[in-house]
Amino acid sequence: MTIRHHPSDETLLRYAAGRLAPAPGRVVATHLHGCPACRERVRVFEAVGGAVLDGMSPVPVVPHALARALAAIDAGPAGRATSLEGSSTPAHGAARTAPPLLPDGIVLPAPLRDCAMGPWRWAGFGVRASALTLPEDPKASLLLLRVAPGRRLPEHGHSGLEFTQILSGSFSDAFGRYQPGDLTEMGAEVEHQPVVDPDGPCICLTALEGGVLFTGSIGRLIQPFLRL
């Protein structure tokens, strides 16, 4: 698998610094799970950040700060740890279960396996969506989308960044063609109209920093019925 589309360095730097919101962070973690090049970029950014911290003068901390930090770690999401590669590991003694399957027999990526997956619901003509519930932020909006072959999605823009990781199938827009492993990062200034390739459905993981702004007449007609 050749990955041609990656997160921007700015996004990888935000990820390394822990400054991405939970839902976009999971999309990026899913990309990192299959992309050695981006994992290496994150390691470089983390090393640079560590060197900066090492060069800073120490400052006093409030009493019991260490104890509070350790308690917060112990109370983390479901007692699970996620590596840079995005693989989730069950807590000691937890039962191992088979990973959830997506339509067409696609295995749910490892960085998402501690998320609860909702039912597949209608989200537009030829589009089904399943909401993922993040243990660290149950209100975060993280969606799996399954789009029928040849389906042309409504033209739209965004009020913030849109992150989309392709899990299976492929689609194209005015900026390129995207296949499994690719991550598209569309800014607020971008309007596009994805078109799924005709040889099969496309399943992707998507999160927004903001919302979707439909620009075409059909998109504006169906927007009140969509939870995107």
17 in a domain, yes or no? yes
User: Tell me, what CATH number does 191's domain have?
Assistant: 2.60.120.10
Any domain includes 94: no
pLDDT the model gives residue 104: 79
Q: At residue 32, does pLDDT exceed 50? A: yes
226: region left, alpha or beta (phi > 0 left; psi from -120 to 50 alpha): beta
Are 29 and 111 in contact, with CB atoms under 8 Å apart? yes
Share of the chain above pLDDT 90, in %: 51
Tell me whether residue 149 is in a domain: yes
Q: Is residue 133 a part of any domain in this protein?
A: yes
Query: Would residue 112 count as lying in a domain?
Result: yes
How many domains, in total, are found in the chain? 1
Average pLDDT over the chain, rounded to an integer: 79
- Residue 219: inside a domain: yes
- Is 152 a domain residue? yes
- CA-to-CA dists, residue 27 to 22, 30, 120, 146, angstroms: 9, 5, 19, 16
pLDDT at 160: 73
- Answer with the residue of higher pLDDT: 220 or 210: 210
Give the residue, 200 or 60, on which the prediction is more confident: 200
User: Which token pair is 65?
Assistant: 């700060």
Of 14 and 74, the structure prediction assigns the larger pLDDT to 14
Range of the domain at 34: 9-86+101-225
Task: Compute CA distances 14 → 42, 135, 165, 184, whole Å.
Answer: 9, 21, 17, 16
